[in-house]
Amino acid sequence: MLAKDKKKVDPWGLPSALDPDIHLYYYPKDINVEKFSSFAEKKHQKTKLYDQIINLFFNSILDPDQMENMGDTKFLNFSDKTDQEKWCQNPPFTAVKNYIVSRETVSTNNQNLNDESTSVQPTTLMLHVHKVMNNGYGLATTENSEQLVNTLKAGDRVWFYVVPFTLKNEIVYAQVVENNWGYSVCDLKSVETKAENRIDAPCKYFGKCSGCQLQMITYKDQLEFKQKSVEFSFKHENSNFINSEIVVNEVIGSPKQFGYRTKLTPHFDLFKWMPREQTSIGFNYINRREVLDIEECIIGTPHVNSGLTETRKITKNNFDTFKRGATLLIRQTESLNETFVLKPKDMVTETVSTISTLNIDEQIYNKQMQLLDDLKSEKGFTGDLDTVSYKFQFQASSFFQNNNSVLPKLVHYVRYQIGLANKYRLETKFPEIKYLVDAYCGAGLFAIGCSSDFEKVVGIEISKESISNAKNNSLGIKNCEFYQGDASNIFEKVKQTDGSINFSPNQTAVIIDPPRKGSNPQFLNQLVEYAPAVIVYVACGVPAQARDINYLVRNGSVVLNPTETKNAENKPLYKISSIQPFDLFPQTFHVENVVTLIRIN
Q: Per residue in 433-483, pLDDT tens? A: 999 999 989 999 999 999 999 999 999 888 899 999 999 999 999 999 999
Q: 110 or 473: which carries more pLDDT confidence?
A: 473
Least confident of 48-57, 155-164, 551-560: 48-57
Does residue 180 surpass a pLDDT of 80?
Answer: yes
Q: Are strands 124-132 and 171-180 parallel, antiparallel or unpaired?
A: antiparallel
> Are 260 and 298 spatial neighbours (Cβ–Cβ below 8 Å)?
no
pLDDT digits (tens, 9 = 90+) for 289-343: 999 999 999 999 999 999 999 999 999 999 999 988 999 999 999 987 889 999 9
Query: In whole angstroms, what is the distance from residue 444 CA to residue 434 CA?
Result: 18
pLDDT at 27: 34
Does residue 601 surpass a pLDDT of 60?
Answer: yes
Encoded amino acid at 444, one letter? G
Query: CB atoms < 10 A from the CB of 5, how many?
Result: 9
Q: Where are the alpha helices (DSSP H) in 270-401?
A: 302-316, 362-375
Encoded amino acid at 33, one letter? V
Q: 206 or 383: which carries more pLDDT confidence?
A: 206
| Burial label, 1 (beta-carbon count in 10 A; 0-12, 13-18, 19+) | exposed
Beta-strand ranges (E) seen in 455-586 are 456-461, 480-484, 508-512, 534-539, 574-582
pLDDT at 241: 87
How many Å separate Cα 110 from the centre of its chain? 40
| Helix H or strand E segment including 141 | strand 138-141
Query: In whole angstroms, what is the distance from residue 24 CA to residue 16 CA?
Result: 6
Q: Is 440 annotated as a binding residue?
A: yes
User: Mean of the pLDDT values across residues 545-574?
Assistant: 84
Number of helices followed by number of strands (H, E) in the chain: 13, 21
pLDDT digits (tens, 9 = 90+) for 116-133: 445 678 889 999 999 898
User: Mean of the pLDDT values across residues 233-259?
Assistant: 90
Which ranges in the chain are annotated with CATH 2.40.50.140? 20-198
Does residue 12 surpass a pLDDT of 60?
Answer: no
Query: In whole angstroms, what is the distance from residue 471 CA to residue 482 CA?
Result: 6
Query: In whole angstroms, what is the distance from residue 299 CA to residue 41 CA?
Result: 42
Q: Where are the alpha helices (DSSP H) in 71-192?
A: 81-88, 145-153
pLDDT category of residue 100 using cuts at 50, 70 and 90: confident
pLDDT category of residue 182 using cuts at 50, 70 and 90: confident
Least confident of 145-159, 167-181, 339-353: 145-159
Least confident of 112-116, 199-203, 228-232: 112-116
Neighbouring-strand partners of residue 311: none
Least confident of 104-118, 239-253, 446-460: 104-118
Query: CB atoms < 10 A from the CB of 598, how many?
Result: 24
pLDDT category of residue 350 using cuts at 50, 70 and 90: very high
pLDDT at 17: 34
pLDDT category of residue 247 using cuts at 50, 70 and 90: very high
Helix 542-554, helix 521-530: angle, nearest 10 = 60
Query: In whole angstroms, what is the distance from residue 290 CA to residue 168 CA?
Result: 28
User: Mean of the pLDDT values across residues 253-279?
Assistant: 94
pLDDT digits (tens, 9 = 90+) for 395-440: 999 989 999 999 999 999 999 999 999 999 999 999 999 999 999 8
Q: 386 or 137: which carries more pLDDT confidence?
A: 137
pLDDT digits (tens, 9 = 90+) for 351-377: 999 999 999 999 999 999 988 887 655
Q: Is 293 annotated as a binding residue?
A: no
Residues labelled as active-site residues: 540
Least confident of 94-98, 101-105, 200-204: 101-105
User: Mean of the pLDDT values across residues 194-207?
Assistant: 97
User: Mean of the pLDDT values across residues 219-227?
Assistant: 97
Encoded amino acid at 132, one letter? V
pLDDT category of residue 85 using cuts at 50, 70 and 90: confident
pLDDT at 396: 93
pTM for the model stands at: 0.87
Phi, psi of 120 (to 5 degrees): -70, 135
Q: CB within 8 A of 168, min separation 6: which ones?
A: 129, 130, 131, 132, 138, 195
pLDDT at 387: 87
Does residue 19 surpass a pLDDT of 50?
Answer: no
Count the alpha carbons within 13 Å of 496 in the hemisphere toward its beta carbon.
8
Share of residues in the chain with pLDDT > 90 (%): 58
Q: Where are the alpha helices (DSSP H) in 75-179?
A: 81-88, 145-153
pLDDT at 62: 64
pLDDT at 312: 97
Beta-strand ranges (E) seen in 328-454 are 330-332, 340-341, 347-355, 387-395, 435-439
Q: Is 401 annotated as a binding residue?
A: yes
Helix 145-153, helix 39-61: angle, nearest 10 = 120
Query: In whole angstroms, what is the distance from residue 160 CA to residue 57 CA?
Result: 10
User: Mean of the pLDDT values across residues 528-541?
Assistant: 95
pLDDT at 51: 57
Q: 104 or 463: which carries more pLDDT confidence?
A: 463
User: Mean of the pLDDT values across residues 507-524?
Assistant: 92
Least confident of 31-40, 497-506, 585-594: 31-40
pLDDT at 38: 41
> For residue 62, what is the DSSP state?
S
Count the alpha carbons within 13 Å of 49 in the hemisphere toward its beta carbon.
21
Does residue 10 surpass a pLDDT of 50?
Answer: no
Q: Is 416 annotated as a binding residue?
A: no
> Are 451 and 477 spatial neighbours (Cβ–Cβ below 8 Å)?
yes
20-198: CATH number: 2.40.50.140
pLDDT at 237: 86
Q: What is the mean pLDDT of the chain?
A: 84
| Helix H or strand E segment including 137 | none
User: Mean of the pLDDT values across residues 81-86?
Assistant: 80
The SS3 call for residue 224 is: helix
